Amino acid sequence: MELPFHAGEMRRDVNHGKEVEAAEPSSSSSPPQTGNRPSFNVFLSFRGEDTRKGFTGHLYNALRQHGISTFIDSEELERGERIEDLFSYIEGSQIFVPVLSKGYTNSRWCLREITKMVECGRLILPIFFDVDPTHVRNQSGPFEAAFQRHAGNNRVGEEDLRRWKDALRAVGEIRGHCLQNDTNG
């Protein structure tokens, strides 16, 4: 997968009108900065228990090895940080790669992330990991029960449900990569 920014390339920051250098991968967990916001080429969104130690972990390592600065919550987001902190990482990223797995919609965090990605209006490259894109679009199959649980949760409002469904519908319409879980993650 060819991505538009590589380490050392100059690109124009469309929000601030200045040139910034694409970040080199580093061993530290401190993200590169653009203004007051952390800056990443790619933001990975995934349900940890579904794909963290398998597919998503391998994807993250491959992106970093190719010099692509990549946000992944296991290394970049400290436990206890608020959703607003996570949103700043999303806003500071150029490309979003949601790894939509069977358990993705069980997580309100994942649903908030994907909604924010859609709202940002940047490039989204979805990976449909062992799920059918029509299930994502229609919140059917493995996603239907999760939305029924969310609807019965007093902490989830109707507006949240509507926004999450709209975001999933939009992402489900994008031609992404469909992968089957043949090797356990």
Q: Which of 9, 49, 75, 113 is catalytic?
A: 113
C-alpha dihedral (133, 139, 143, 144), degrees to nearest 10 = -140
**Is residue 100 a part of any domain in this protein?**
yes
| CA distance linking residue 68 with residue 7, whole number of Å | 6
2 tagged catalytic? no
**Is residue 5 a part of any domain in this protein?**
no
CB–CB of 96/51 below 8 Å?
A: no
**Is residue 157 a part of any domain in this protein?**
yes
pLDDT tens across the length of the chain (185 residues): 344 444 433 333 333 333 333 333 333 334 455 556 668 999 999 987 677 778 888 999 999 999 999 998 864 445 555 667 789 999 999 999 999 999 999 999 999 999 999 999 999 999 999 999 999 999 999 899 999 999 999 889 999 999 999 999 999 999 999 998 765 44
**Is residue 2 a part of any domain in this protein?**
no
Task: State the pLDDT at residue 158.
Answer: 95
Residue-level length of the chain: 185
Task: State the pLDDT at residue 2.
Answer: 41
**Is residue 131 a part of any domain in this protein?**
yes
| CA distance linking residue 19 with residue 39, whole number of Å | 13
CA-closest candidate to residue 107, choices 115, 118, 96: 115
CATH number of the domain bearing residue 121: 3.40.50.10140
Question: Can you read off the two tokens belonging to residue 39?
Answer: 């800056």
CB–CB of 12/68 below 8 Å?
A: no
**Is residue 92 a part of any domain in this protein?**
yes
The total domain count for the chain is 1
**Is residue 1 a part of any domain in this protein?**
no
| CA distance linking residue 161 with residue 69, whole number of Å | 32
Question: Can you read off the two tokens belonging to residue 171?
Answer: 């992402």
Q: Which domain holds residue 91?
A: 10-21+33-179
Write down the pTM of the prediction: 0.76
Task: State the pLDDT at residue 183.
Answer: 57
